Amino acid sequence: MELKTKINAESGRQDLVITREFDLPVELLFKAYVEPEIVEQWMGTKVLKLENKRHGSWQFETKNPGGNVVFRANGVIHEFSPERRIIRTFEMEGAPFGVQLEFLDFEKLSDERSKLNIHVVYQSVAQRDQLLQLPFAQGLNMAHNRLQEIVGKLK
């Protein structure tokens, strides 16, 4: 089975690469990264700030149904080249994972298809490995809770 999203995380390195091909024109793929209300939908978080420009900054926040903040992250944008490239930092607030540097490359494959390549650089090998394990413990739980919440509303 061909996996749509691929992760290349070689051992002993402090970086990793996420690649994914989309059945979307590159303009729409890029839009999903810059329009706050669209980012909110697929990232499942609230966008407090998203300044899509060089030296701009961003901040996301997720609250649980009780109104408590369970996730907050922020960073600055170093490069913003429409439909081509975003370079930004990412820092999870109140977590011991440091700041990571992200290079997002958007590539047009055809009029209807595009590719996203995300190169993430961490402060250390140990931090990368910890973050790789995080979804196992936390992220998946959150996604699961969110799913239950949505399903709960449907009932």
- Contact residues toward another protein (CB under 8 A) are 3-7, 9-12, 18, 20, 22-25, 28-29, 31-32, 38, 41-44, 116, 129, 132-136, 139-140, 143
CB of 72 to another protein, least distance (A): 18
CB of 52 to another protein, least distance (A): 17
**Of 17 and 101, which CB lies nearer to another protein in the complex structure?**
17
**Of 43 and 76, which CB lies nearer to another protein in the complex structure?**
43
Q: Which residues have CB under 8 Å from 55's CB, separation 6+?
A: 76, 77, 78
Instruction: Give the integer Cα–Cα distance in Å for 111 and 8.
Output: 27
To which H or E segment does residue 107 belong?
strand 99-108
**Of 136 and 155, which CB lies nearer to another protein in the complex structure?**
136
- Helix residue ranges, H only, the chain: 26-34, 36-43, 125-134, 140-154
Is 145 in contact with 57 (CB distance < 8 Å)? no
**Of 48 and 125, which CB lies nearer to another protein in the complex structure?**
125
CB of 42 to another protein, least distance (A): 4
